[in-house]
Each structure stands twice: as structure tokens, then as C-alpha cells.
Amino acid sequence: MLNTRYAAGAPIWVDLGTPDPERVNAFYRSLFGWEFQSGGPEVGGYSLYQTDGKTVAGVMTVAAEQAPPAWMIYFKTPDADATGKAVEQAGGGTVYEAMDVGDLGRMGVFTDAQGVGFAVWQPGTNKGLDLVDAPNSLVWTELCTPDIEAAKEFYGSVFGWGSSTASFAEGSYTMVHPAGGTEDDMFGGLWSLSDSPEEAEGGPYWIPYFQVADMDAVLAKVEPSGGTVRVARMDLAGVGSFAKLADPCGARFALMQPEAPSAG
């Protein structure tokens, strides 16, 4: 799972682009208890979601005509410019070239060879999210892609990711970890769009999973708070429970409640 040691190539930040922050702030506060910390003009109004004073995500206003509401996942890089070149060489594209964000760090936004958007973060004074792999914070990431093998090749080339495949009664699942890591360092999975009919209309994308302590209690709040349950709760023995949602503006994300460790 994720950790705040943030190895190169691992998820280090996540943020929400939405046309209506006020509307979705209330939604995420209802689900996760997140507090909204408004950013000043020096950061273009870029704001934070926090729990117990710890930053768990960012949020910014993105007009509907600019881009659809969406969560963006950032992967750590020691050199955003070099990563941008690696993306181009691997058949990806550049949305925003690497740029400084004050003294906070350096970022770039790209697309992979299948057209899926992702971002990179080269830390400055901002070393990454304060809290991960804990209730109400980022716990997992997943790429819904039309071609798992092509995705493995692309991200392996850009970040050096390693991978392994786990088999379950329902099929198999490909998981990824940072270069030099092991299965204990897995932070994300690759899932075929052909196995996800609910994703067909929206197309391929990266989806963040946020950990919850009580899946049913959180799911009960989704629709009354204006969201949508896109995929109902699923339970996987030895792993935990999952559900896929959309917030009131349509940004897609997921929940995960890890299975409690067995006693003894």
C-alpha cells in the first residue's frame, strides 16, 4: 500500500479539478469529514482538503469548458523535465510542460500512450501528502486501460515500475510497485476496460481509492449528499471491500475498506 516515504515513481499527490468547489466540498466533508482550506492568490486559489490538520488532497476550480471534473494522480519524480522526455519517447503526450510552482516543487501533466492523463511532482518544500493509507485518505490507485500490457510497457519505461499478477476466483489483477520495490510496496493496479462495462462511456482513466473505516456507513451518505454509486460494494476475500462513486459534479473516485487482519 501507499506510504509517505514516497519512492520515485510512487503516487505522491492527488487533486480534484471541479467547476463547483463549494458544492463538492460539502459532499466530501459528508463522506470523509474533510475540512476545506482555501488557498490565497499567491497559489491561484489552489486549496487543500485536510483531516486532523493533515493534507489529504488538493482541489482547484476548473471550468467545465476547460476539462471535465476529474481527480488527478501525481507520481513522484526526481526530475520532472527528464520524465517529460521519457513520456514523449514512450509514445505519450504533454499537456503542460514541467513548470515551477513557487518553491513548493516542479510539476508536469502528461498523457500515456493510451491517452490517459496523469501528472508528476518533483518535490521542493512540499514533500507530498501528509497522510495516506489511513481512514479518509488515499490508499490505492488504479488505471482503467484498454491495454494492460501496453500500460505496463509505458509506465515501466517512464518510471521503471515493476509488476506482478494476482489470481482470484473472479479472475486476475495486475499490481505495480516502484522500481526496486517488492510486492509489499504495491501502490496501484491495472484493470482492463473490457472487464469494466461501467467504465466504457467515460473511457480510460486513473482513479484514486480513499480508505474508509465503515464502507456501508459511507455509502449510505453518497446519494443524500448528491453523489452517485457507480459500482456497488464488492467484497474480495483477503483484501477488503470496494465501491466506485462519482461526486455531485461527476468526478470519479473509489472507496476501499481493507479487510481487518485475522486475530492471532
The predicted structure's pLDDT at residue 170: 67
The predicted structure's pLDDT at residue 262: 58
One digit per residue, the tens of pLDDT, for the chain of length 264 reads 799 999 999 999 999 999 999 999 999 999 999 999 998 887 888 999 999 999 999 999 999 999 999 999 999 999 999 999 999 999 999 999 999 999 999 999 999 999 999 999 999 999 999 999 999 999 999 999 999 999 999 999 999 999 998 887 667 899 999 998 887 889 999 999 888 777 777 889 999 999 999 999 999 999 999 999 999 999 988 899 999 999 999 999 999 999 987 554
Kindly report, residue by residue over 57-107, the tens digit of the pLDDT.
999 999 999 999 999 999 999 999 999 999 999 999 999 999 999 999 999
pTM to 2 decimal places = 0.96
Which structural domains are found in the chain, ordered by start?
Answer: 11-123 (3.10.180.10), 139-258 (3.10.180.10)
User: DSSP for the chain?
Assistant: ---TT--TTSEEEEEEEES-HHHHHHHHHHHH-PEEE---GGGTT-EEEEETTEEEEEEEE--TTT--SEEEEEEE-S-HHHHHHHHHHTT-EEEEEEEEETTTEEEEEEE-TTS-EEEEEEESS--S-S-BSSTTSEEEEEEEES-HHHHHHHHHHHH--EEEEEEETTEEEEEEE-TT--GGG--EEEEEGGG-GGGTTT-SEEEEEEE-S-HHHHHHHHTTTT-EEEEEEEEETTTEEEEEEE-TT--EEEEEEEPPPPP-
